[in-house]
A = this chain, B = another copy of it.
Amino acid sequence: MITQLAALVGDKYVLHGADLDPWRSDWTGAYRFEPLAVVRPASTAEIAAVVRWANDTGTTVVPVSGNTGLSGGTYADGALLLSLDRLNSIRDLRPDARVAVVEAGVILSSLHDAADAVDMIFPLTFGARGSAMIGGCLSTNAGGSNVLRYGNTRDLVLGIEAVLPTGEVVDLLSELHKNNSGYDLRHLLIGAEGTLGIITAAVLKLHPKPRAYATAMVAPQSLEDALTLLNRLQEATGGAVEAFEYMPRHHIEIHKQIHAGAREPFDTPQAINILVEVAATAPRDCTPGPDGRPAIAAHLEDTLASMFEEGLLLDAVVAQNEAQRAEMWARREAAAEIAMSRKPFISNDIAVPLDKVAAFLNTMERRLPDCDPEAQENIVAHLGDGNVHYTVWPSSDDAGLRDQIMELVEDVALSFGGSFSAEHGIGLSKLPSMRRRKDPQAISTMKAIKAALDPKGILNPGKLLP
């Protein structure tokens, strides 16, 4: 096998034996495994050759890019791990056309930098952006903090190129905004977690770079008042809210414990801590007015001031410079680190309608002790899109208890019209939820598609489909 793979991608790029050490685990550490080998092809053609070989020999293949997933999607026991890290070129980037053609191994923050250099942004962003790669972002339809304004990953993709389970290459690298020509295979492969094909490149939408940001930490009386703030800000700015992130007291406390320099957002510690950011591109919103503030900052400050007067806010701090803004974001982006600071942890990535977040959290607080009186909650939420990262630290690592807690979370989320999986995907860890909660006709349709496109079950077997 090693010799055959070496013939396809070069000796140096087939790892085995001791070289596998850094490749035997997913990022969370929850999954450890023994891959057959790691192969690091340099091009779409090399990936196609490897997948063709795998199909011929009946070898299963697990694609991996940044390996920052949270659901065990890169578990590769007894499979060939196919790393996309060498497909790392930005093939094209044209600000006038607002597109970038990017390979799967490009790190998200590298694309951010490249877009920034031409005064554009690629809006997708989340804590792991310094390691996560475009291939994984697309395969999981990653979300993050800017979904509120710019949509999920799939909303930022015009075209893709992919290697199918047979090793054939499908070229759908269109830059067009209207292109109705058959089934939308782009959207089928995005979010398929590498089970239907390996996305090798994509045409991504760039957006104009905001010329002015205004960022604040806000302590409303309640989550209901937080939603009032969100709605008033959207109204005042014509929909310019980029992020609206909720951190409860325990998030702030643990952040201070694990980061030496971390501070309280307000002079008086608050129960509800909201990070809000608005941004503007139009000159009239960005140019400083008579009072020296750009209109977008004035809208934020005026909205906060009027809500403060109404008694809906307990405190608010507006970032006065980039360092203060960065501190606010660092606090939010420590979320994954905070969730994993204690083990075992049970990661739940649920979504409910925006106005049901408070009800979901209240119900969980009441009902969690029924499962595990000693369990502790750890919460952070993209409040602007209803996505709650509801981590539980249970009293033991018992598999039965874990499943019981996950079932409870699903029950409560679904009772409020929610979903058991918002932005992290299914992978391995959400398979029981998928089995229990997804529409059975939807699952059997997905299985029929998988069987049709990957009859030998070569690509990322055992993931996504129960």
Contacts and interface: CB of A to CB of B under 8 A. Distances in A.
A382 B178 CA distance: 10
A326 interface: no
A386 B180 contact: no
Given A187-B187, A208-B239, A387 B178 contact: yes
Interface in A145-172: 147-148, 152, 154-155, 164, 168-172
Contact of A178 (B284, B419, B448, B452): B419
A235 interface: yes
B182 A438 contact: yes
Interface of A: 96-97, 140-141, 143, 147-148, 152, 154-155, 164, 168-172, 174-185, 187-188, 190-192, 196, 208, 235-239, 280-285, 295, 299, 351-355, 382, 385-387, 417-426, 430, 434, 437-439, 441-446, 448-449, 451-453, 464-465
A175 B417 contact: yes
A5 to B, nearest CB: 24
A176 B452 contact: no
A217 B93 CA distance: 33
Contact of A445 (B185, B235, B425, B442): B185
Contacts of A423: 178, 180
Most central of A236, A382, A422 by chain B CB within 10 Å: A422
Given A178-B387, A178-B423, A192-B183, A445 B353 contact: no
A179 B449 contact: no
Instruction: Give 5 closest A-B pairs by Cβ, nearest first.
Output: A238-B282, A187-B187, A452-B452, A178-B422, A170-B441
A124 B313 CA distance: 38
A449 B178 CA distance: 23
Contacts of A443: 182
Contact of A184 (B174, B188, B237): B188
B155 A155 contact: yes
Given A238-B285, A281-B239, A445-B453, A351 B179 contact: yes
A449 B97 contact: no
Contacts of A451: 452
A421 B181 contact: yes
B183 A188 contact: yes
Most central of A97, A170, A385, A437 by chain B CB within 10 Å: A170
A236 to B, nearest CB: 7
Contacts of A464: 182-183
A184 B452 contact: no
B386 A176 contact: yes
B284 A442 contact: no
A161 to B, nearest CB: 10
